A and B are shown apart, each in its own frame.
Chain A
Amino acid sequence: MAWTWLHRFGSPPHFYRVAGKLIPWFAWPAAVLIAVGLVWGLVIAPPDALQSDAYRVIYVHVPNAWLSLMAYTVMAVAAGVGLIWRIKVGHAVAVAIAPVGAMFTAVALVTGMLWGEPTWGTWWVWDPRLVFELVLLFFFMGYSALRGAIEDPDRADRASALLAIVGVVNVPLVHYSVVIWRSVHQGSTVFRSGGPAMPASMLWPLLVAALGYTFFFGAILLLRARAEVLNRERSGSWLAQLAED
């Protein structure tokens, strides 16, 4: 009886309705916060003493890198819910996240390269953080590739869910890579003991942008998961009823 709420939320009609109601609550804050954060960060915040304006890529790079890890974690949890409790909506959410997570990872990598060129003097170094972030991209791609290779939809759901869960080992590797190995990539400047090593005038726009990107992730996740549920339930009777109303 403890899990009835989960099963209720996992029923496709219920999820479809609730997700539809939630989308504006994510989409509007996302639009406002990203706009404020980016204008604040890219235009108003002071230039850095050493990197002058080159550091401003942080306002895109860091939120995308954070969200790439968050997207993978949410994908693995959703896939786990689908695999363990056999809740189909869990698989639908995981499927909806995979391309979005791959996009966050790719943006984090590309903006990192654009930042590395003026500051490190090179587009790419074989640094642990960079390598494991690239590996994260391969996990997102492997997830989609495995789904694509399996014809039976139920087996595709369950096999790719297991792969997503196994790939979670990579998430702490990305996060702690700057702690375990001394490397070119700087350590964490925001979440560290002794407070952020960044002046408030630079930190606030970063936090606002990061929060905005998080809402954006929530909105696009719900939107895509809703579409995925529609596609999976296309022969369901509740959809016919919904279309009549």
Chain B
Amino acid sequence: MSSPALEIGALAAARNVVARDLLLAFRRPGDWLQPLAFFVIVTMLFPLALNSEPSVLRTIAPGALWVALLLASVLALDFLYREDGHDGTLEQFALSGQPFAVLLLAKTATHWLLTGLPLAIVGPLAAVSLGAPGGSMPGVLGSVLLGSVSLSLLGSIGAGLTLGLRRGGALLSLLLLPLLIPTLIFGARATQLAILGDSAAQPLYLLGALAILSLTLAPLAAATAVRISLE
């Protein structure tokens, strides 16, 4: 195909998408700060609702952290495609002649930079506030960092499927949370081992494998999902 739109390569186009989405996000910080605030509030609820005894908190910390992370990630998916689907940007992407999956992957990568990465930085702090020893922070950071990659990528499929639906929010949770369970299991296990001071290598490898699997397959599924929703 020799359409004029292909004057730049796919990578340059993807870079433009990242730059554009970052610029838009910095003009409207509320979108990506809300999931972060949500995460902090939910982790804060556990010591208040349960028991602020440090030994109790330390045992529930991995679970509390990962449940809050999963919910915050699903909440954050709301703004992945919504605006661009609404104003026709995604249709222009689809018509541009550039590989659609690459452009959407660029969007998902930006979304991860704005939500997954901040959550990964705040995650270890939340773990320490729940009584985890300071030495566990690298392990917790690694598990949340790797896990959030899978969460964003798998989430992009769900966001594509529910794009433009009126009752999207609750439906998105119903579709996605079952799909995110393996990430939750290995992520919570890695965090638990890190807090106990043991080697978290095994679940971290599995989290890495999940992240790579998601990186290879999820962009294609997400591109198909968005195409179906645009039709």
Contact = CB atoms under 8 A, between A and B. Distances in A.
Interface string A149-184: 110001100110011011101100100000000000
26 contacts: A131-B181, A132-B181, A135-B178, A135-B181, A138-B174, A142-B178, A145-B175, A146-B161, A146-B171, A149-B162, A149-B165, A149-B167, A154-B231, A155-B231, A159-B225, A159-B228, A159-B229, A162-B161, A162-B221, A162-B224, A162-B225, A163-B175, A165-B221, A166-B157, A167-B178, A169-B179
A163 B171 CA distance: 12
B182 interface: yes
State which size class the interface on B falls in. 20 to 34
A139 interface: yes
| Residue from B161, B162, B166, B171 having most chain A Cβ neighbours under 10 A | B161
Contacts of B178: 135, 138-139, 142, 167, 170
Interface string B158-184: 000110011110010011011101100
A159 B157 CA distance: 10
Contacts of B225: 159, 162
Contacts of B231: 154-155, 158
Contacts of A163: 161, 175
A166 B228 contact: no
A interface, over-half SS: helix
A166 B214 CA distance: 11
A107 interface: no
Given A135-B181, A159-B229, 13 more contacts: A135-B178, A141-B174, A142-B175, A146-B161, A146-B162, A149-B165, A149-B167, A150-B165, A155-B231, A158-B228, A162-B228, A163-B175, A165-B221
Given A162-B221, A166-B221, A146 B175 contact: yes
Interface residues of A, number: 23
Q: Which of A141, A146, A167 has the most CB of B within 10 A?
A: A146
B229 A155 contact: yes
Nearest to A157: B228
Nearest to A137: B178
A118 B19 CA distance: 61
A98 to B, nearest CB: 14
A159 B167 CA distance: 15
Contacts of A142: 174-175, 178
A149 B174 CA distance: 12
B177 to A, nearest CB: 8
A155 B181 contact: no
A146 B162 CA distance: 8
Contacts of B179: 166-167, 169
B230 to A, nearest CB: 9
Contacts of B162: 146, 149
A167 B124 CA distance: 31
Contact of B228 (A131, A155, A167): A155
A145 B228 contact: no
Query: Which residue, of B166, B181, B228, has the highest number of chain A Cβ atoms within 10 A?
Result: B228
Interface in A72-96: none
